[in-house]
Structure 1
Amino acid sequence: MTTLAKTPARGVDLAKIKSWLPTYGVYVAIALLILFNIVFTPNFLTWSNLRIQLIQVAPIVIVALGMALVIGTEGIDLSVGSVMALAAALIPLYLGYGVAGAILISLVAGLAVGLVNGTLVARVGLQPIVATLALFVGGRGLALVISGGQLKDIRNADFIFLGSGDLFGLPVLVWIAAVLVLIVAFLVRRTVFGRRLLAIGGNRKSAELAGLPVQRVLITVYVICSVLASIAGVLAVARIQSSDASAVGLLIELSAITAVVVGGTPLTGGKVRVLGTVAGALLMQLVVATMIKHNLQPSTTEMVQAVIILIAVYVARERKTR
Structure 2
Amino acid sequence: MSATTVSGRLPQKARVLKDIQNYGVYLALVVLIVVAVALNTSFLSASNLRVQLFQLSPTLLVALGMALVIGTEGIDLSVGATIALSAAVLPLYLGYGLGAALALALLIGAVAGAIGGSMVAFARVQPIVATLSLMIGLRGVAELINGDAAKPVTAQSLLSLGGNSAAGVPWMAWVAIVAAAVVAVVMRRTTFGRQLVAIGDNRQAARLAGLPVRRVLVTVYVISGILAALAGVLVVGHGAEADPANQGLNMELDAITAVVVGGTPLSGGRVRVLGTVAGALFMQLISAVLTQHDVHTSYTQIIEAAIICGAVYVSRERGSR
Identify whether the pair has TM-score above 0.5, normalized to the shorter chain: yes
> Could you report, residue by residue, the CA deviation over 1:80-132 in whole angstroms, capped at 9, with x for unpaired residues?
00000000001111111111111111111111101100110000010000000
- Structure 1, 38-47 or 10-19: larger mean CA deviation: 10-19
Residue 4 of structure 1: aligned partner? none
Aligned-partner Cα distance in 2 for 1:43–1:244: 33
Contact 2:200 2:267 in 1 (8 A): yes
Shift of residue 13 of structure 1? 4.5
- The 5-angstrom pairing of residues 72-83 of structure 1 reads 72-83=71-82
Contact 2:63 2:256 in 1 (8 A): yes
- The 5-angstrom pairing of residues 85-124 of structure 1 reads 85-124=84-123
The secondary structure found in structure 1 opposite 2:119 is helix
Residue 286 of structure 1: aligned partner? 285
Shift of residue 320 of structure 1? 2.7
- Structure 1, 37-46 or 85-94: larger mean CA deviation: 37-46
Residue 3 of structure 1: aligned partner? none
- The 5-angstrom pairing of residues 148-297 of structure 1 reads 148-297=147-296
Q: What's the TM-score, normalizing by structure 2?
A: 0.95
Contact 1:41 1:293 in 2 (8 A): no
- Amino acid corresponding to residue 135 of structure 2 in structure 1: F
Contact 2:267 2:319 in 1 (8 A): no
The secondary structure found in structure 1 opposite 2:74 is coil
Shift of residue 135 of structure 1? 1.0
Residue 60 of structure 1: aligned partner? 59
Aligned-partner Cα distance in 2 for 1:236–1:320: 36
The secondary structure found in structure 2 opposite 1:275 is helix
> Could you report, residue by residue, the CA deviation over 1:28-66 in whole angstroms, capped at 9, with x for unpaired residues?
111111000111124212110011001101111000000
The secondary structure found in structure 2 opposite 1:211 is coil
Aligned-partner Cα distance in 2 for 1:204–1:15: 26
- Amino acid corresponding to residue 280 of structure 1 in structure 2: G
Moved >3 Å (runs of 4+):
10-15
| Identity value in percent | 51
Aligned-partner Cα distance in 1 for 2:45–2:209: 54
Q: Which runs of 5+ in 2 are unaligned?
A: 1-7
Q: What's the TM-score, normalizing by structure 1?
A: 0.95
The secondary structure found in structure 1 opposite 2:34 is helix
Contact 1:149 1:245 in 2 (8 A): no
Residue 20 of structure 1: aligned partner? 19
Contact 1:77 1:132 in 2 (8 A): yes
Residue 37 of structure 1: aligned partner? 36
> Could you report, residue by residue, the CA deviation over 1:291-311 in whole angstroms, capped at 9, with x for unpaired residues?
101101111111111111110
Shift of residue 319 of structure 1? 2.5
Aligned-partner Cα distance in 2 for 1:206–1:45: 48
Aligned-partner Cα distance in 2 for 1:190–1:260: 21
> Could you report, residue by residue, the CA deviation over 1:189-224 in whole angstroms, capped at 9, with x for unpaired residues?
111111100000000000000011100000000000
- Amino acid corresponding to residue 78 of structure 2 in structure 1: S
Contact 2:78 2:132 in 1 (8 A): yes
Aligned-partner Cα distance in 2 for 1:258–1:45: 24
Contact 2:161 2:234 in 1 (8 A): yes
The secondary structure found in structure 1 opposite 2:122 is helix
Aligned-partner Cα distance in 2 for 1:16–1:110: 41
Q: Which runs of 5+ in 1 are unaligned?
A: 1-9
Aligned-partner Cα distance in 2 for 1:289–1:162: 23
> Could you report, residue by residue, the CA deviation over 1:165-188 in whole angstroms, capped at 9, with x for unpaired residues?
111221101100000000000111
The secondary structure found in structure 2 opposite 1:284 is helix
Aligned residues: 313
Aligned-partner Cα distance in 2 for 1:72–1:16: 23
Contact 1:154 1:242 in 2 (8 A): yes
The secondary structure found in structure 2 opposite 1:124 is coil
Aligned-partner Cα distance in 1 for 2:16–2:309: 18
Please identify the structure whose Cα radius of gyration is greater.
1
- Amino acid corresponding to residue 111 of structure 2 in structure 1: A
- Amino acid corresponding to residue 242 of structure 1 in structure 2: E
Aligned-partner Cα distance in 1 for 2:130–2:319: 27
RMSD: 1.4
Aligned-partner Cα distance in 1 for 2:12–2:289: 32
Residue 69 of structure 1: aligned partner? 68
- In the alignment, does 2:316 pair up with 1:317? yes
